[in-house]
Amino acid sequence: MASESATVISNTGNLMKYMNLDQRGRIQAEYVWIDANGGTRSKTKTLFKPVTSVDELPEWNFDGSSTSQAPGDNSDVYLRPVAYYPDPFRQGDNILVLCETWDADGSPNKYNYRHEANRLMETNAHEGFWFGLEQEYTLLGTDGWPYGWPRGGFPGAQGPYYCGVGTGKVYCRDIVEAHYRACLYAGINISGINAEVMPSQWEYQVGPCPGIDMGDHLWMSRFLLHRVAEEFGVRISFEPKPIKGEWNGAGLHSNVSTNATRAEGGMKAIEAAMKKFEARHVEHIAVYGEGNEERLTGRHETGNIDKFSYGVADRGGSIRIPRQVAKDNKGYFEDRRPASNADPYQITGIIVETMCGGL
Ligand code: ADP
Ligand code: MN
Ligand code: MN
Ligand code: MN
Ligand code: MN
């Protein structure tokens, strides 16, 4: 845990003077990858001209023994660029580069869940999968306790905080606004934000995104959140149940539709999908996040982890069919089981597999 006596000496005003210096035509490319603990890591490479296609981005590597992604005696892990976005921090022609991780023997790294998901998305491209993820998270102070909560104590009971407005009801709106704008600048398909039920907990939505874009955009949005919060000296937690007891957990509700569910009479396709989901509840839970059993208790707007259920407008089930979808007889459904720390590639991958079959 970070020492509380550490003095922060960063000076944004001073920094701006240097950020405005001419780059002399060189580009800074921030290579971002997913580590062994559900976090993101990044390092920077100078390029010699602006990038117009992902194929122009060179492969790179990092020391996997320093991130628990490779053994010390065979430590090189390769970074393969798969997407790039305008960099909201350095701006100009500078970019953020999302990478897949590959081992020296030519196989995907153990923590590269994108490779398999992408194969599933490509095989089933004709199904027209769209996803929309609701990312919940908690803001923590450097002491690890929710930001703005009394030290070692608790705020008043839940009620005033969800979509709250006003002092004592919401915390760190500055970080939330900064992150929202950074996502928009980067071209992340962020579709909204709201303050959550537990104070210092927030949500943002990304989507609808087709196929593999969902995981790509969500991972880049997570990187941006950690990176923005770093400038404010606040920690981001994706723990599914950061505070035990009568405090809501944090999820990653996953909304799903296909050509068939969006077509006239698409409720039939949704009902058919529910049968398939029911048969694979255990397999889904296995990839829906670490520590999710603390969250999926059947209380606090969750379903029970041991039992699959679904229903129209039911926020206590595994899957909810929105009221409007039932009314329109077509649309999408919401898988409410994934925890806030789940990997979006694993979530969207298993959903495609369950609805369409494996590779
Ligand atoms: P909730 O009422 O569950 O809090 P939100 O408004 O937070 O709902 O999130 C709804 C999500 O559903 C958004 O991420 C949005 O992108 C997604 N969504 C909307 N329509 C579709 C669709 N047709 N297919 C997939 N996702 C969708
Ligand atoms: Mn070195
Ligand atoms: Mn929501
Ligand atoms: Mn929510
Ligand atoms: Mn939801």
User: Residue 172's pLDDT is what?
Assistant: 95
Mode of pairing for the β-strands spanning 40-47 and 27-34: antiparallel
**CB contact at 8 A, 200 and 149:** yes
How many angstroms separate the first and last alpha carbons of the chain? 43
Bond before 58 cis per omega within 30 degrees: no
Residue 134 CA to ligand 4 centre (angstroms): 7
User: Token pair for residue 246?
Assistant: 């009568």
What are the C-alpha distances in Å from 308 to residues 277, 303, 315, 335? 8, 8, 13, 11
* Residue 221: DSSP 8-state: H
**CB contact at 8 A, 287 and 350:** yes
pLDDT at 1 over 50: no
Shortest-distance Cα residue to atom 24 of ligand 1: 257
The predicted-structure confidence for 68-88, as pLDDT tens digits, reads as follows: 898 888 888 999 999 999 999
Residue 345 CA to ligand 4 centre (angstroms): 20
Q: Which atom of ligand 1 is nearest to the CA of 257?
A: 24
**CB contact at 8 A, 248 and 158:** yes
Section 86-107 average pLDDT? 97
**CB contact at 8 A, 36 and 111:** yes
pLDDT at 102 over 60: yes
**CB contact at 8 A, 202 and 171:** no
Section 143-153 average pLDDT? 93
Which residues, listed in sequence order, are joined to residue 44 by a DSSP beta bridge? Answer: 30
Q: Identify which of 88, 50, 83 has the alpha carbon closest to the alpha carbon of residue 185.
A: 88
Residue 292 CA to ligand 2 centre (angstroms): 37
Residue 136 CA to ligand 5 centre (angstroms): 10
Average pLDDT of the chain, as a whole number: 95
pLDDT at 357 over 90: yes
pLDDT at 5 over 80: no
User: Residue 2's pLDDT is what?
Assistant: 47
Percent of the chain with pLDDT over 70: 97
**What residue type is 42 in one-letter code?**
S
The predicted-structure confidence for 272-282, as pLDDT tens digits, reads as follows: 999 999 999 99
Q: Which is higher by pLDDT, 8 or 322?
A: 322
How many CB atoms within 10 Å of residue 229? 21
pLDDT at 13 over 90: no
Q: How much is the CA Rg of the chain, to the nearest whole Å?
A: 21
CB of 344 shorter than 6 A to ligand 1: no
CB of 189 shorter than 6 A to ligand 1: no
Residue 103 CA to ligand 2 centre (angstroms): 19
Cα angle 35, 52, 219; round to 5: 25
Testing ligand 1's pocket by substitution, the residue of 205, 217, 312, 348 carrying the most ligand atoms inside 8 A of its CB is: 205
User: Token pair for residue 173?
Assistant: 């709106």
pLDDT at 189 over 70: yes
Shortest-distance Cα residue to atom 15 of ligand 1: 132
CB of 135 shorter than 6 A to ligand 1: no
Mode of pairing for the β-strands spanning 130-140 and 235-237: antiparallel
Section 281-296 average pLDDT? 97
Lowest mean pLDDT among 13-17, 112-116, 184-188: 13-17
**CB contact at 8 A, 168 and 200:** no
CB of 266 shorter than 6 A to ligand 1: no
**CB contact at 8 A, 338 and 348:** no
Q: Is the four-CA dihedral 237, 239, 245, 251 of positive or negative sign?
A: positive
pLDDT at 66 over 70: yes
Section 255-259 average pLDDT? 98
The predicted-structure confidence for 295-332, as pLDDT tens digits, reads as follows: 999 888 888 999 999 999 998 999 999 999 999 999 99
CB of 251 shorter than 6 A to ligand 1: no
| 86 Cβ neighbours under 8 A, 6+ residues apart | 94, 95, 96, 185, 186, 187
Residues having C-beta closer than 5 Å to ion ligand 3: 134
Q: Which atom of ligand 1 is nearest to the CA of 253?
A: 3
Which residues, listed in sequence order, are joined to residue 312 by a DSSP beta bridge? Answer: 321
What single string gives the DSSP state of each residue in 238-290?
A: --SSSS-SSS---BEEEEEE-HHHHSTTTHHHHHHHHHHHHHTHHHHHHTS-T
User: Residue 19's pLDDT is what?
Assistant: 95
Tell me the domains of the chain and their CATH numbers: 23-108 (3.10.20.70), 120-354 (3.30.590.10)
**CB contact at 8 A, 347 and 252:** yes
CB of 132 shorter than 6 A to ligand 1: yes
